[in-house]
């Protein structure tokens, strides 16, 4: 089967021979591109809105030479975000928004920034990103064949369930909670007494509806856009994990572009990420307020959060050697 990259080269050659692709004329120094991008969630999410903005900016700044097709729900990898990242790495797709949590399933060092209760608020997270975390993740992404075009943001992850309100570790006892498919989250929730299970996000709503699982954890944008209040009566706002999004591009593709086209891509990506973060943060409290009308909501106090922090603290001793000292330093809020 012809690879996507080879198909793209053949299509480009055909465009050059014919002198046009669509309504835009292709020349050797001004090639025409059609690229694919995936996001994990649906069209009502800030991820999708930012991807659309990215597509619009690419088209405008390139004079129509750069076309971006956006696919929701990880459609190109049958709903499997980890397989989607692997597609990005090997060039079977061109761009994606994916959480560092998904990348951690491929290389556990990516999970350093997702350590439980690492940041108290966005100010701490921003200081870490600006102080060294962004550069560290750019380097790490490059090692696996991904050009990181900056961070977007899924936000702080919250908890929903259909068993009981959760305000202390003991409240999680025995609850079947869907978690992302990496070992650290299994260890977090087992340490808190829950019964964690992994599955692709595309299966979560139906599994909650059918009772296969009893709870899940995700940022408010995901909880809201997926309509989880229809199948979950309890929401706990505890900001237990900060979840940035990598806007990734296949590295070989990026390197194949002219310097001028690289600048177009980088400028469009920076704009999309800035828009996505601003929109996500602007909507978060609104989404909490809206979901609080649909679910019984518990917002944890500092004293309650301290009990959770103390319970999961031993996990750091296990995972800091996995993340490595460079990543631990890079994501530290203490700068």
Could you report the per-residue pLDDT of 111-154, keeping only the tens digit for each? 999 999 999 999 999 999 999 999 999 999 999 999 999 999 99
Q: What is the pLDDT of residue 202?
A: 86
Other beta carbons within 10 angstroms of residue 306's beta carbon come to 12
Interatomic CA distance for residues 323 and 333, integer angstroms: 16
What would the mean pLDDT of 249-277 be, rounded to a whole number? Answer: 98
Q: What is the pLDDT of residue 285?
A: 93
Q: What is the pLDDT of residue 14?
A: 41
Give the model's confidence band at 334: pLDDT under 50 very low, under 70 low, under 90 confident, else very high: confident
pLDDT of 1 > 70? The answer is: no
* Prediction pTM value: 0.88
What would the mean pLDDT of 8-15 be, rounded to a whole number? Answer: 45
Rounded CA Rg of the chain: 21
Task: Report the largest interatomic distance among the alpha carbons of the chain, rounded to a whole angstrom.
Answer: 68
Q: What is the pLDDT of residue 19?
A: 36
Q: What is the pLDDT of residue 256?
A: 97
Interatomic CA distance for residues 185 and 191, integer angstroms: 10
What would the mean pLDDT of 203-222 be, rounded to a whole number? Answer: 96
Q: What is the pLDDT of residue 12?
A: 46
Strand, helix or coil at 84? Answer: helix
What would the mean pLDDT of 83-97 be, rounded to a whole number? Answer: 97
Give the model's confidence band at 27: pLDDT under 50 very low, under 70 low, under 90 confident, else very high: confident
**Does residue 64 contact residue 58 with C-beta atoms inside 8 Å?**
no
Mean pLDDT score across all residues of the chain: 92
Q: What is the pLDDT of residue 28?
A: 74
- For 222-242, write each residue's pLDDT tens digit: 999 899 999 999 999 999 999
Q: What is the pLDDT of residue 26?
A: 73
**Does residue 312 contact residue 192 with C-beta atoms inside 8 Å?**
yes
Q: What is the pLDDT of residue 2?
A: 42
Domains of the chain from N-terminus onward: 32-322 (3.40.190.170)
Question: For residues 225 and 291, which has the higher predicted lDDT (pLDDT)?
Answer: 291
**Does residue 76 contact residue 36 with C-beta atoms inside 8 Å?**
yes
Q: Which of 3-17, 59-73, 173-187, 310-324 has the lowest mean pLDDT?
A: 3-17
pLDDT of 214 > 70? The answer is: yes
What would the mean pLDDT of 64-73 be, rounded to a whole number? Answer: 97
pLDDT of 20 > 90? The answer is: no
What would the mean pLDDT of 152-163 be, rounded to a whole number? Answer: 97
For every residue of 134-198, DSSP letters joined together read HHHHHHHHHHTTEEEEEEEEEEEEEEEESS---SSGGGGTT-EEEE-SSHHHHHHHHHTT-EEEE
């Amino acid at each position: 089967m012809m690879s996507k990259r080879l198909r793209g080269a053949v299509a480009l050659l055909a465009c050059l021979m014919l002198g046009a692709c669509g309504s835009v004329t292709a020349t050797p120094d001004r090639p025409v591109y059609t690229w694919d991008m995936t996001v994990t969630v649906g069209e009502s999410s800030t991820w999708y809105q930012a991807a659309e903005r990215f597509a619009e900016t690419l088209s405008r700044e390139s004079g129509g030479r750069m076309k971006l097709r956006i696919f929701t729900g990880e459609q190109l990898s049958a709903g499997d975000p980890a397989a989607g990242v692997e597609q990005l790495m090997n060039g079977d797709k061109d761009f994606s928004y994916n959480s560092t949590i998904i990348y951690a399933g491929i290389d556990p060092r990516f999970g350093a920034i997702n350590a439980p209760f690492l940041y108290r608020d966005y100010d701490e997270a921003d200081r870490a990103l600006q102080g060294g975390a962004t550069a560290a993740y750019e380097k790490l992404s490059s090692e696996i064949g991904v050009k990181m075009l900056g961070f977007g943001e899924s936000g702080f992850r919250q908890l929903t369930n259909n068993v009981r309100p959760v305000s202390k570790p003991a409240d999680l006892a025995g609850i079947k909670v869907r978690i992302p498919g990496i070992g650290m989250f299994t260890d977090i929730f087992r340490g808190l007494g829950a019964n964690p299970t992994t599955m692709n996000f595309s299966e979560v709503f139906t599994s909650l509806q059918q009772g296969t699982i009893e709870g899940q954890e995700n940022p408010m944008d995901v909880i809201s856009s997926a309509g989880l209040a229809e199948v979950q009566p309890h929401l706990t706002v505890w900001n237990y994990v900060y979840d940035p999004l990598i806007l990734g591009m296949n590295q070989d593709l990026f390197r194949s572009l002219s310097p001028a086209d690289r600048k177009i891509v980088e400028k469009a990506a920076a704009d999309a990420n800035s828009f996505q973060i601003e929109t996500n943060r602007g909507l978060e409290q609104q989404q909490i307020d809206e979901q609080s009308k649909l679910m019984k909501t518990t917002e944890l106090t500092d004293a309650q959060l301290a009990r959770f922090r103390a319970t999961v603290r031993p996990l750091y001793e296990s995972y800091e050697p996995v993340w490595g000292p460079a990543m631990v330093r890079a994501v530290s809020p203490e700068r």
